[in-house]
Amino acid sequence: MKILVPVDFSPSSKRAVTLAEQLADALDGKVMLMHILEPVGGDVAFVADYDQMITDAQKSLDGIRSSIREKRMGSVETVVEVGFPTERILHRIEKDGISLVVMGMENDMSWLDRDVFGSNAYDIIKKGKCAVLTVPVDCKVSSLNKIMLAVELREKENIYLLSFLKRIVREFNSELYIVHVSSSEHVDLTFATSDSILWLKGQLEDVPHHFINLKAENVPDALNLYAEDHDMGLMVLSPEKHSFIQRLFEGSTTRKTVLHARVPILTFPIDY
């Protein structure tokens, strides 16, 4: 597994590096630390002397790499590029066969938030064709002993998502919470018998899990509140074919809710 970590040297990107390292250790992955220098004046063709900036950025990346445990030094690569963040990240995903992008989010809207998550996360998830893990700067939980999977249960979940998730659950000895949000009355999903639920139970029978149904009108708020109140180490979102995931990326209020999540959020493209 190849894990790409865009680094802008903010506190949240440092958290992203730490989480990427943990995942690489558990999943036998290789980490690539990437810094992107934005074009001067927003014009990539603008003639500027980037040599010193590239040198400085490379030294900073080398410092981060040296802080990673010695056993990972052989599987940590660094790269500095000039260009627009979203374009360069998508290019790297395709060029290097990236399986997972781990990136931080800043409350003050760094380029990583503004250009990638704030406006173009949909493009990264859809066009990048890899998993994307965002790490909030004020993330309260540092362990992955509790993980929640948000589902809609109208269709069977993506089998590759579940395989990836189960691997994480096993490696970190996590408890998995299957969370469904609806506006209807509470339904005990533990004893539900719909095809999608029975199929999901079968796929997860070999890992510890709990079914949770939440009654709420605002899906993103309900998910974020449950994750924070129950000290979840990670929230996993299904591919975009689910309507509530589409709503998650629509509208300024919803986008703000996601940007202010206090737990890492792992998303998958529809064809992962």
Considering the domain architecture, whether residues 163 and 85 belong to the same structural domain is answered as: no
Q: How confident is the model at residue 254 (pLDDT cuts 50, 70, 90)?
A: very low
- Give, rounded to a whole angstrom, the gap between the first and last alpha carbons of the chain: 14
120 touches 148 (CB < 8 A): no
201 CB burial (10 A radius; 0-12, 13-18, 19+): middle
Predicted local distance difference test score (pLDDT) of residue 101:
93
Which residues are within 8 A (CB) of 173 and not within 5 positions of it... i.e. 6 or more apart? 145
Considering the domain architecture, whether residues 39 and 165 belong to the same structural domain is answered as: no
* Amino acid at residue number 47: V
Number of structural domains (the chain) is 2
Domain containing 60 equals: 2-136
43: domain CATH number is 3.40.50.620
Considering the domain architecture, whether residues 75 and 184 belong to the same structural domain is answered as: no
Considering the domain architecture, whether residues 28 and 61 belong to the same structural domain is answered as: yes
Domain finish residue from 91, 108, 136: 136
- Look at residue 141 and tell me if it is in a domain: no
CB atoms within 10 A of CB 138: 13
Domain finish residue from 91, 114, 136: 136
Q: Quote the mean pLDDT of the chain.
A: 78
- Look at residue 108 and tell me if it is in a domain: yes
Considering the domain architecture, whether residues 116 and 154 belong to the same structural domain is answered as: no
Considering the domain architecture, whether residues 211 and 111 belong to the same structural domain is answered as: no
- Look at residue 270 and tell me if it is in a domain: no
Dihedral class, residue 261 (left if φ above 0, else alpha if ψ from -120 to 50, else beta): beta
Considering the domain architecture, whether residues 188 and 248 belong to the same structural domain is answered as: yes
pLDDT digits (tens, 9 = 90+) for 2-18: 999 999 888 888 888 98
pLDDT digits (tens, 9 = 90+) for 18-37: 899 889 988 888 999 999 98
What share of the chain in percent tops pLDDT 90?
25
Predicted local distance difference test score (pLDDT) of residue 253:
36
Considering the domain architecture, whether residues 103 and 185 belong to the same structural domain is answered as: no
pLDDT digits (tens, 9 = 90+) for 49-100: 678 888 899 999 988 888 876 555 557 899 999 888 889 999 999 999 999 9
pLDDT digits (tens, 9 = 90+) for 101-149: 998 876 555 555 544 554 445 567 667 788 989 888 777 656 899 999 9
Q: What's the predicted TM-score (pTM) here?
A: 0.83
- Look at residue 155 and tell me if it is in a domain: yes
- State the helix-helix crossing angle for 219-229 and 252-259, rounded to 10 degrees: 10
Considering the domain architecture, whether residues 100 and 174 belong to the same structural domain is answered as: no
